[in-house]
Structures are given as structure tokens and as C-alpha cells.
A and B are shown apart, each in its own frame.
Chain A
Amino acid sequence: MTESLESSPLTPVPGTTGQTGTVVRSTVLKRLFKNPLGILAIVILLAISLLAIFADVLAPFEENFANISKTLAAPDAVNILGTDSSGRDVWSRLLFGARLTLLSALLCAAVAIAIGLPAGLIAGYYAGKFEAVSNWVVSILMSLPGLIVLLTIRAAFGPSVWIAMIAFGVLISPSYFRLTRSAVQSVRNELYVDAARVSGLSDPRIITRHIFSVVRAPIIIQTAAIAGVAIAIQSGLEFLGLGDPAKATWGVMLSEGFKNVYLTPTLLFWPAFAMALTIGALVLLGNAIRDALEDGEKIKHRRKPAVKGTTTAPAAAAKRSARKTPAAVDAGTEHHLVKVTNLGVGYPQADGSLKKVVDDVSFHVDRGEILGIVGESGSGKSQTAFSILGLLPDTARIVAGSIQFDGNYTVAPGEELVSQERLSRLRGRRISYIPQEPMSNLDPAFTIGYQLVTPMVRVLGISKAEATKRAMKLLSDVGITYPDRTFKAYPHEVSGGMAQRVLIAGAISCEPDLIIADEPTTALDVTVQADVLDLIRDLQRSLGVGVILVTHNFGVVADLCDRVVVMQNGRLVEEGAVRDILRQPKELYTQTLLASMLEGKTPMSMLVSSQKEPVS
């Protein structure tokens, strides 16, 4: 609820966004504390921090106190982890080392944030010259090998942990810069930021109020990662002997242990363990925060489908009566091209329940016939179509019913999954698919020609040259004026309407018996829609194929289809010849659907009539 408020244009009133921001954070925190690994990480980091802070009190010895008569000693009551080669207490040095290591990691992160965050905010918000210059600086910083630079810095300024960490903070600041800049760029033009600007909020206030709340969480995650890297780098420098020898650090202890590796390899263990524990806890913490944030988004995304599944009682009752009626299907003996019987599709949920998206749906399609499946979004019409294609998401399960194609089961009664073995023999060959969104359904990395030719070569077993010839013919068949130019083009070089023609060409390229078209015109301009519908009808007539046309648009149904199936909330509401349903819809839902779709849509109804004329 809070998430939807965040992006809603209703929130720009100054002050309220800050409040929603805290609500979001508290839910993230709550989720974080539900994650056992997150709690573990926090506990470990807290424990190490406390040990470091109270090192003076807790450590039995000074960090450099050396008992020369007791070197490389095994653990005993006085030196609980033993002593090193100078007789210094390992436990004490570990505690003092923790303090220095944590402080240096904090310093490094603080420097990186102090540089990267404001620079990223300014570059993202104002863009322009500042962004160009900072991008250039970032590209330089990012191509510098960190350790080599730190060695040079040390040559210039001497062996100081703090200078090294400040320098490393500068080197690593681009990671905050880029993070902040892209986050700011993505919200800069959001409505609520626009509204804040219009309502007269000053830029600094907008940045701190609205934009900072967006980057806060990613920055915490990034800081966990960077603190880990800083610890590794700092320890590495100390290990090389480039630090201040008077200070106890984990890196120095590792180096000391490594020198005595033949005598007392356990000296290596403790600093390595401390380092891995600290960095590991930071990594886990970062992951836990990210999970907490992503879970929030998932809930946000799931909310819509969750509504789909819940059928309201009266609607369900209405459909139960309808379910009995679809006549020919229940008889069962006739041979149909596709026969769907009592199909149910569901998604198992995390809590063990099952969310049904298709429930008890039966219909059939014959050769040479166009069946429309119509319903609002979330009615389960696309899920039904994908069940026939065998291209449901991995998590989907067939929970009831069966599907037959040309007399053979692709989903036999009782089967949980669509048989990929059976369908891989049918897909492309006998069943083909026209998708909804033309641009996203072509692989951007391959030419249109390649994407037309390859399926023909694979499915029909013809040569590449022959497939190319056919592809050219297909492209001109679907009304593309310069087939050779389109053939060579990449998907991003053609228009949406042309891409949809290409996809239709692909769908008919292997002479299928059934074409499943999923909202084939929804993503297109109104003018192009009519052409594409004409094309589908002409091709269907000349090829004599069966077509399942999934749509939310009764205009399209009236124009193209022979029969229609109306779906709502995953259930079949009504089925029959288009003419009958349009004239006398029996069910209330169909009536409202018809009314709402035809009302006030003059351009669409004109389109329908203008297309009827040339045909009849």
C-alpha cells in the first residue's frame, strides 16, 4: 500500500512523502528481522563492533606487549589463543586489530559516500556539464588498478592506514556515484517529483525529501559490500608489510603467521577467520537487505494477480450454470483440431496453497475456424492459450482436465505438466504463435532474416538458401514492401507494425494447422491494427488453418471470429457463435463486457464496419 502511494501522483504534498518513506523503511526492517541470516549478520557485526570498541577493557595485554620468554606458545589460561613469534598475545592483538580494521573500513566508506553521493545526486538531477565531467572522472578512476595506486600513494605520503583508506575511498567513490545517479535519473521525471517542482519546492528540498529516500536502501547495501572490500584491501596492504608496523591489524597478524607457517600455522587461522567472519557478515547483511527490498517489490507485483484468483461468490455462481452448457465439447466423440476439456491451471504459492488462474475451462477449435477467447486482463485467457502451446511459466501446474491436439493428448487427464516431449514435436511445425508485443518478441541480437530462416531450416529440414527464398516470399505475402531490406534489418530498425508482420510471417512459415494469436493488435497503432487483422483473416482463409484469437476487444471478435468463448476470473462464462453472442448475450457479464467495450469507442466500431465492406 505504501509502495503504490510512493509512485502515485497524489503524494507530492510536501511532508507526506517523508512519512511514506519511513513506513516503507520500517516494513523493510521488519522483513529484515524476519530473515534468520539477516539477524545472524547483525548479531555478528554487533558483537565484533562491541569487542573492538571495548578492546582496551577486554584485551588482557597491550597490543605490543611482548613476553620474549614465551614465543609461539600454544593457547593456555593466560594467552587464550597463544602467542606470536615475539611473545605477543594473539587474542589481544585480534581485538585491537578489529578496532583498526573496522575504523578503516568505516573511513573508506564515509569518504566514498561523501564524494559519490552528492556528485551522483547533482549529476543525476541536473545532468548537463557537471554530469559529462564527472562521467569522465569516473571512467578514469574506474580504470585505475586500486592496489597499484595505493602503493604509489604510500610512496608519496608514507605508511599511514588512514591516508590509504581515504585514497581508496576516493578510488571506489564511482560505485556510489553511479548508483545514485541512475536512481536519481529514474525518479527525476516521476510525476511526484514534477508535482513537487510545480508546487514550488526548492531543488535542494526535492533532492533531500524525495530523491534521497529512493537511494537510501541501495546505498546501505553498497556500503556493506564496500566495507568488505576495504577490509580486504587494508589487510592486503598490511600483509605486504606496507602498513604501520606499530599497529596490530589482522593483515599484520596474517603476515606474521605466514612467516611462521612452518612452525605454527594456527597463527594464520585467527586473523583469517576474523576477516572472513566480518566480511561474510557484511555480505550476508547486504543480501538480507536486498532480499527484504525485493520481497517488498514482489508483493507489490503479486498484488494484481492475487486479485484475479479470488472469484466473487455471485460471479462464480453465474458461471457454474454456464459451465454445463458448452454443448459439443462434453459429448466427446467428435474429432476436433484442439479440444480443451475441463482445464485447470494453477500456481503453487509459498504458503502451500494453490492460486487457480484457469478453472474448469472447456472448448474446441476446428480447422478453418477462428475462435475468439475474450475477457478482461486477468481472466485467464492467455494462460489457457499458453497451456495449448505448452509455454506456461515453469511454476505453473495443470491442476485439472486435459488438452488434445488433433486427437492426441498433449495434456492427458491427471498430468501435472504439459508434455514438452510431445509439444516440441508440434510447436513450430503444427502449432504456431503470434505474440502480443512485436518488439520484445524478436531477439534484438539477430537479423529478422535469421529469425525467419532458422525455424524453417530446423523444422522443415530445408536448406538455408531455400528457406531464404521462402522467407522473402513470406515477407512480401504479409505486405512488406521491401522484403530484402527488412530481411537484413535488425529488429530495432523496423517499426512495431512491421515487426508484427514479421512475427506473423514467422508464425505461418512452417505451414501450421493452428495459429494461436495472443492479442496480436493490442500493442499497435489503431491504423495498423486494421491492416494486421485483415492480414490474419486473409491468411487464415487462404491457408485454411484454425486460429485461436485471444483478445480483450469485442470489436476484434466481431470482425474476425466465427465462434467466441467469454472468460472471467479464470472461468468460462459463455460460449457460442459470434453472431448469437453479440446479438443475445445470455450472461450478465457478457452483456456488461459488450456494453463497456462498444460504448464510446466510435473509432473501433467504424473500423469494424469499414473492414466488413470490402470482404462481403
Chain B
Amino acid sequence: MIRFILKRLGSGLVVLFAVSVLTFFLLYISSGSIARNILGDQATPEQLAVKEAELGLDQPIVTRYFKWLTDALGGNLGASWFSSEPVANALATRIPVTMTMVFSAMILIAIVATLIGVAAAVKRGWVDRVVQIGAIIGDSIPGFVIGIILVTVLAIQLGLFPATSTISPGEPPSAWVLSLTLPVIALLINGVTGGAQQIRSAVIKQLERDYVRTLRSRGISEREVLFKHVLRSSAPAGLTVLSLQLIGMLGGVVIIEQIFALPGMGPLAVAATSQSDQPVVMGVVMYTVAVVILVNLVVDLLNGWLNPKVRAS
């Protein structure tokens, strides 16, 4: 077990390393005019040279990468080239906003999609048809368009929610809840419709398995068959879908934050990438990829717990 976790963490680190190299070298392509972008058109060649030396841009790319790597391993992610704010600080103030949304959306998706998917699989009939149609509609409308519709109708036309966020560290939790409700709904609708569809077909497939009939023949109640056995065997399919949705959501949340003017990672990522603010971009990319790696690890562990056959290998 511990060996499995260590092995997976090890391969996760390799992925992180590969991504960091790729990102760093990609950003290098656009780093030619950075000093001028920072100092403005009036800067003299001397000033530019000084700035480039200060940022280490006069060094060869490989040297710069290893400088970044050793600093990062020592816990220092550097500071923004434009605002001089330490990257760790910028991330620390924004991660709570983004991750609150992403993880509340994921938890809600898991619960709601399971309930709807199981209901559709067991009851069939109209519930099933509604879920199927819902899945098509959910697939047809991108999450950020749903966000725009929600803002327009519920916040601007009806005034039920704030159209732009009022959250900041000092605000009471109720303001957070009110500000985050619509963005979370926008994030989760695609996930619920898609997830319910997947869980529906997984449950239907499991219900047709032989062992279900044998359990019924043993006098086990329908409820226990469904919630203890069928749901457990359907869970790996659901978990895989959830983890893919989470990866997508880490990108989708960028646009949602823009729509709702939320001070999360999204605006930071957009600003940093459009300025080629290398330390910030590196920080954002590393953080998101690390989250994905951890989530995938958790999903694998859960799958092992759910399925003894996987555990053995």
C-alpha cells in the first residue's frame, strides 16, 4: 500500500518535472521583450540591460531553469516580474476562492449525479428520459455560457444574487456563500448531467450482472442490493468521470471567475499569461498540475479500496 502511494507520488513528481520544463521553455519563446514591457517605451538600453540582468534574462535558458528549479524546491517560487508580489503570496490569497468553488462543485456533482443516475437506472420510465435529455442539453451548452445565462437572468434581471463578487478575506461567510452560489451552479451543471448519465449506465450494467440475481435469491433486500453492492461496483466508473471533470473544471473555472469577477486563480492566470509573467505562470501551472496528480492518486486509492482485484495487482 505505502509502496504503491510512494510509487505514484514518484511518477507524479516526474510528471511535474516534465511539465515544468515544457512550460519554462515555452515561456522562453516570448521572453525577448519582457524588460521593455515592464519598463515601458521610454526605457534606455542601459536600463533594459540592468532589468534583464536583474531578472536573470541575460543567463542561458538552462541555467535559468535550474535556478528556478532549485529555488522552487527550496520553497521559493519567485516574485511577479510586473508587480513584484511574491508568487506564493499571490497563490495563497487566490487558491481559497478557486478551490472552495471547485471542491464544493465536485462534492455536489458527486451527490446529485449519483442520486439522479441511480434513480434513472432503477425507475427508468420518465425519470430516465429526463436524465437522457438533460445529458444532451448539458453537453450542448458550455459551462461558461451557462454562467452567463445565470448572471443575466438571476443576478441582473431578477436581482436574486450579486452579479459580481463581494468576497474578500474580511467579509462574513454569508457574503461568500451568496457570491459563490451562481458560479458553483455554473460549474456543476455540466458535471451533473454528464455524471448522472455515466452513473446511470454503470448501474444498469451492474444490475444485469449474475451476482445481483444471486444476492436477490439469498433474500437480501432490494435496497441493500442496490446501495451496498450495485452502487459500490458502479463507483469506479463514476470516480473516473469525476476526476476527468475536475481536470476540466480547473480550466473552466478561469472563465467562470472572469464572468463573476471573482478574485480567484483565473484572473491571475489570464493576466500573467498575457504579460508572459514567467514566475506567476510557472506557479499557477505547477499548482494546478499538482492538484490533478493528487486527485488522480486519491481516485486510484479509492478504486483500490472499492475493488479488491485492483488492490491485489
Contact = CB atoms under 8 A, between A and B. Distances in A.
B264 to A, nearest CB: 13
Contact of B217 (A139, A432, A490): A432
Contacts of B270: 151, 240, 242
B156 interface: yes
B29 A280 contact: no
A295 to B, nearest CB: 16
Q: Which DSSP category, helix, strand, loop or mixed, fits chain A's interface?
A: helix
A262 interface: yes
Nearest to B232: A445
A151 B270 CA distance: 7
B144 interface: yes
B29 A156 contact: yes
A443 B26 contact: no
Given A276-B140, A424-B219, A152 B214 contact: no
Nearest to A420: B222
Contacts of B141: 272, 275-276, 279-280
B254 A458 contact: no
Contact of A144 (B27, B210, B289): B289
Contacts of A417: none
Nearest to A490: B308
Contacts of B157: 265
Interface string B173-185: 0000000000000
Interface string B237-254: 000000010011011101
A261 B152 contact: yes
Contact of B23 (A152, A239, A258): A152
A240 B216 contact: no
A265 B220 contact: no
Interface stretch (A20-28, A433-441, A594-602): A433-441
Interface stretch (B40-48, B53-61, B76-84, B273-281): B273-281
B213 interface: yes
A614 to B, nearest CB: 31
A451 B232 CA distance: 14
A239 B308 contact: no
A532 interface: no
Interface in B192-231: 209-211, 213-222, 224, 229
A473 interface: no
Nearest to B206: A443
B255 A147 contact: yes
A158 B307 CA distance: 47
A581 interface: no
Contacts of B247: 142-146
B288 A145 contact: yes
A482 interface: no
A276 B276 CA distance: 33
Nearest to B255: A236
Contacts of A242: 270, 274
Interface in A427-461: 427-429, 431-433, 435, 437, 440-446, 451, 454-455, 458-459
Contacts of B289: 143-145
B137 interface: yes
B64 to A, nearest CB: 15
A441 to B, nearest CB: 4
A248 B217 CA distance: 64
A568 interface: no
A455 B219 CA distance: 6
A606 interface: no
Contacts of B220: 428, 454-455, 458
B142 A236 contact: yes
Contacts of A150: 251
Given A445-B229, A445-B232, A433 B214 contact: yes
Given A143-B293, A145-B251, A287-B136, A272 B145 contact: yes
A503 B220 CA distance: 15
B123 to A, nearest CB: 11
Contacts of A275: 141-142, 145
B18 interface: yes
Interface string A155-170: 1111000000000000
Nearest to A444: B309
B217 A155 contact: no
Contact of A156 (B27, B209, B218, B252): B27
Nearest to B251: A147
Contacts of B114: none
A12 interface: no
B18 A140 contact: yes
A242 B274 CA distance: 8
Contacts of A268: 148, 152
A518 B35 CA distance: 80
B139 interface: yes
A235 B211 contact: no
Nearest to B270: A240
A151 B273 contact: yes
B136 A435 contact: no
B255 to A, nearest CB: 5
A440 B211 contact: yes
Contact of A262 (B27, B156, B244, B312): B156
A45 B251 CA distance: 28
A577 interface: no
Interface in A19-45: none
Nearest to B292: A143
Given A258-B259, A391-B213, A440-B209, A143 B273 contact: no
Interface in B30-71: 30
A146 B251 contact: yes
B145 A276 contact: yes
B306 interface: yes
Contacts of A503: 214
Q: Which of A279, A431, A444, A445 has the most CB of B within 10 A?
A: A445
A492 B221 contact: no
A85 B47 CA distance: 42
B26 A455 contact: no
A63 B142 CA distance: 24
A152 B251 contact: no
19 contacts: A143-B293, A145-B251, A148-B254, A148-B284, A155-B273, A239-B258, A240-B255, A240-B258, A258-B259, A275-B141, A279-B141, A280-B139, A391-B213, A427-B216, A441-B210, A445-B229, A454-B220, A458-B221, A492-B309
Given A142-B247, A151-B281, A428-B217, 9 more contacts: A139-B15, A145-B288, A153-B26, A242-B270, A272-B149, A443-B229, A443-B233, A446-B229, A492-B308
The 5 closest A-B pairs by CB, nearest first: A428-B219, A147-B251, A280-B140, A232-B142, A433-B217
